[in-house]
Amino acid sequence: MSEVVDRIREAAEWRDGKAAEYPDDARNAQSAAALRGLADHVERIPDDPRVIWLAAQIQDGAFGSATARVLSRCGYDSPAERFDSFLSELCTQAARDALQLVTDGTLSPDEAVAQHRVSSRHASQALTEPLYPSELAAYGDPAFLRDCLREASTTAYYRRRPGSNLTPAEQAASIRDHAEAEGLELIDRKPPTGGQS
């Protein structure tokens, strides 16, 4: 998606500026080169759910400052950046930013699902308890994000229905029925046993 590539290239240009400003620090030029490599990588995988999901975050203005900082540091500390792993890390941070909006009370869980494409279970959980690291890491998994995108699409459909007066429980049941009829699998992950890691 061009939004993601454009955002990465903007970060590379910013790093180029820092390299000119601080010519004795090779890390800025190193990071700019890594960011250009990441942009090229993303251009080659436009249908990857992580790319589609990040594009949606950018379009909705949900690409948070912490996510932008993670992006800007691509290749900064290490010249050998693994682009696929970095893309997953970027998605995990973007999910953390989106879920923080629920924790802060800026968004309701339903809004977080529809606008930021996070799982409904995680959006609800963010109100009462922190997510496990493994739950946040799921946002780096293309299969998990594919399900989040489907759930968001279905949730947005039901939120738009005129005259809809469903309770949240009825709406959730209706979404699940719709997903089942469409053959869509909605993820409902349970936290790992044995305590937080």
20 CB neighbour count, 10 Å cutoff: 10
C-alpha distances in angstroms, 177 versus 115, 167, 173, 196? 21, 15, 6, 32
Q: 2-28: per-residue pLDDT in tens?
A: 899 999 999 999 999 999 999 999 999
Q: How confident is the model at residue 197 (pLDDT cuts 50, 70, 90)?
A: very low
pTM of the model: 0.74
Helix (H) or strand (E) holding 88: helix 83-103
Q: Is 111 exposed, middle or buried (0-12, 13-18, 19+ CB in 10 A)?
A: middle
Q: 49-92: per-residue pLDDT in tens?
A: 999 999 988 887 777 889 999 999 999 998 767 999 999 999 99
- The dihedral over CA atoms of 13, 59, 144, 146, expressed in degrees to the nearest 10, equals -120
Domain ranges of the chain: 2-182
Q: 132-141: per-residue pLDDT in tens?
A: 888 999 999 9
